[in-house]
Structure 1
Amino acid sequence: MRPTACAAIMALLPLAAIGGETLVLSDGHVRSGNPRSAAAYLAIENRGAGDCHLRAVESELAARVELHRTLDEGGVMKMVPLAEGITIPAGETRHLRQGGDHVMMMGLHAPVAEGQLVPLSLDFGDCGTVALQLPVTPHVTPRRQGAAHH
């Protein structure tokens, strides 16, 4: 039997436990740098005995939602879709964060605003599905490591 989690509002809860506390989601938020796209970031801790696999994410606010990885190709940052999804090994935590793996929402039906809650549905395959809402936080461009600042 595949467990299905209840909706969790991560803006109000520091942690959301999924599937009998097999998965614990924390530090969730959304950032948008333009009116047509946004990215979601969160930590996913797998407390279960087996691996969990984030296969897909959906949101009613976007035409397309994909799992992406940011790669540094000779100083040029490039995002590539992760068609195979993201595995969260048993006993480990995966951080979906800016500059790394993340959820990319493209073709937003309307721009998102700071403080707004963005609904997402995360499909973890055999580990279950979770519906949650993440708050939109201000967009911050990270500094490049090794850059000289005068």
Structure 2
Amino acid sequence: MSLKSTVLTALAALALAAPAFAQSIEIYDQYARSASPMAKTGAAFMMIHNTGGRADRLIGVASPAAKMVQLHTHREEGGVMKMIHVEDGFAIPAGETFFLERGGNHIMMMGLTEPFEPGKTIPLTLTFEQAGEIGIEVPVDLDRKPEHGAEN
């Protein structure tokens, strides 16, 4: 590996490790995964911290990595857990952290344009009512264990 590629790799890793900031919204610990290399769907998870004095709302998400990207949650219907599109988005209370996590609220990507492979990053644009658009890079992590016993 050349010095130039080593430096570029180190800078990319550093950029991914740093949280994303926009006004009063901070994004931490983001990662994406799919069930298998051939899967046509994937999901992204993260922590969203609102450092501001007023509530905000995550109202949309977009990515060139999939044909359709939506905010989703899980709900039990007739004893079966189903993923539901959350059209109104997610409230991010002032001074609190909101979790997008496996088995709960998450970003769903359908019709992936290419496989999620370890080492790759997925570009996402999060849209908030107050903070506006925040662009982030989400590393693919297929080995990460679910938080709080979730199975997604």
Fold in common (TM above 0.5) = yes
Q: How does 1:102-141 map to 2 (within 5 A)?
A: 102-138=106-142
Question: Which position in structure 1 is the counterpart of 2:68?
Answer: 64
8 A Cα contact 1:9 1:133, kept in partner: no
Q: Aligned partner of 2:122: which letter?
A: V
Q: Quote the RMSD (CA, aligned, Å).
A: 2.4
Is residue 77 from structure 1 mapped to residue 85 from structure 2 by the alignment?
A: no
Stretches of structure 1 that go unaligned for 5 or more consecutive residues are 1-7, 146-150
Question: Which position in structure 1 is the counterpart of 2:28?
Answer: 26
Q: Which has the higher helix share?
A: 2
Instruction: Spell out structure 1 runs of 4+ moving beyond 4 A.
Output: 8-11, 139-145
Instruction: Give 1:141 deviation, angstroms.
Output: 7.1
| Residues 29-38 or 39-48, more deviating | 29-38
Question: Which position in structure 1 is the counterpart of 2:8?
Answer: none
Question: Which position in structure 2 is the counterpart of 1:4?
Answer: none
8 A Cα contact 1:33 1:139, kept in partner: no
Question: Secondary structure, in 3 states, of the residue corresponding to 1:33?
Answer: coil
Question: Secondary structure, in 3 states, of the residue corresponding to 1:112?
Answer: coil
TM-score by length of 1: 0.81
8 A Cα contact 2:40 2:111, kept in partner: yes
TM-score by length of 2: 0.80
- Paired with 1:107 and 1:120, the residues of 2 have a C-alpha distance of 15
Stretches of structure 2 that go unaligned for 5 or more consecutive residues are 1-11
Instruction: Give 1:114 deviation, angstroms.
Output: 1.3
